[in-house]
Amino acid sequence: MSTEGRSAEAATAPLERAAFVRVVTRADGDALAASGILARALSERATPFQVTVAETVAERTARATDGDDRDDDATTLAVGACDADVARLEAGDRPATLEACDLAGDLGATPDPVLALAGAAAAGVDPGAGETERLLEGAVERGLVERRPGVAVPTADPVDGLAHSTRCYAPWSGELAATREALDGVDLAGDLDADARKRVASLVALDVVGDGDATDRAAESIGRLLRPHATPQAPFETVGGYADVLEATARTEPGTGVALAMGRGAREAALDAWRTHGKRAHAALDGASTGRYDGLFVVGIDDGPVETVARLAAAYRSPEPRVLAVGDGQAAIAALEPAALGPLAEAVARDLGADYDAGRRRASLRYDPRTEDATVIEAVRGAL
């Protein structure tokens, strides 16, 4: 399968003259933010558009080519891998969000820096790192972002935020009552002062790294949750929390996620989806079976979001550089560091007769649910 489309640099002219734009996007937080940035740019130009979320390369290709024969003035832009001959963002290792910012700028729009930082964070880029340094500096100058003590969750209530966060994995994750008990002794009433935020962060860090099953990687992973970039004018409390909600809605309620990324409200619906997603992910990982192979840590679950389970396991539980989460007819591969997972996922998909998708650190597979887990594991191991 070929996933080479016209480069994003070549997309400006077609979008400038298009009477209608179809954006077909990958189902993750980075791609969702990228689509929102492009949608807002098109709105400023009064260009009609449609945003569709598709979970696999095959589905994205089908949607990208739908209507080609009848819409001579329409342009299609795929965010993520696509086999159709259309413009595409994220042709390399760069987050789709950053490519979307460049394209929006070419169209004369100024991207929302908080949304852009959240999208980059969903892709694994810490605010201020690499190309996001300029975005962060601009957001700070405008009073849109400020660094503070505490934890990077989307809600003002740290109990709610930590219990449902998929950027953290502690013994109490997924349970409100257990999370509240873990923070016992901290005055959580009203607006938290700096001392209270520091105490919350310290308790969380101790619980995470002190868990008997935590890996050395857990200390680095939890560090990304601490001293968050607060976003006083955004829909959510922090950049990291915003990224977490984008990830959740992209995978569970894409329509809500699209509305959120486009700036059309949907905050409460997005938070509801995020809470449900977080509970399912933590419950699945808590009850998972595990196996270790050379270079691969396998997590077997009965039910739950395999992509999120794989990401959590990679950050907090895996002694190997890659994690394979296997569910019912679906699996996900997560890498500790940015990696070219597209070729790996494509090879496994070809072996299993499956559909696939891939981002900077994760890949997903959809296959016949009658396929044995052992078959999937061997296919992934053989492709490593």
Over residues 249-276, the pLDDT tens digits come to: 999 999 999 999 999 989 999 999 999 9
Residue 11 has pLDDT above 80, yes or no: no
Look at residue 72 in the predicted model and tell me its pLDDT: 64
Going across the sheet that includes 322-326, the strands are 289-293, 296-300, 322-326, 330-335, 362-366, 355-358
Give mean pLDDT, residues 284-296. Answer: 96
Give the CA distances from residue 140 to residues 105, 146, 243, 373, in Å, rounded to whole numbers and listed in that order. 20, 6, 18, 48
Look at residue 137 in the predicted model and tell me its pLDDT: 97
Q: Choose among 75, 138, 122, 87: nearest CA to 260.
A: 122
Beta bridge partner(s), residue 330: 366
| Burial (0-12, 13-18, 19+ Cβ within 10 Å), 157 | middle
d(CA 64, CA 72): 14
Look at residue 340 in the predicted model and tell me its pLDDT: 76
d(CA 304, CA 174): 13
Give mean pLDDT, residues 356-367. Answer: 92
Look at residue 359 in the predicted model and tell me its pLDDT: 85
Look at residue 70 in the predicted model and tell me its pLDDT: 52
Q: pTM here?
A: 0.95
Query: Where does the pLDDT of residue 8 fall: very low under 50, low under 70, confident under 90, or very high at 90 and above?
Result: low
Residue 189 has pLDDT above 70, yes or no: yes
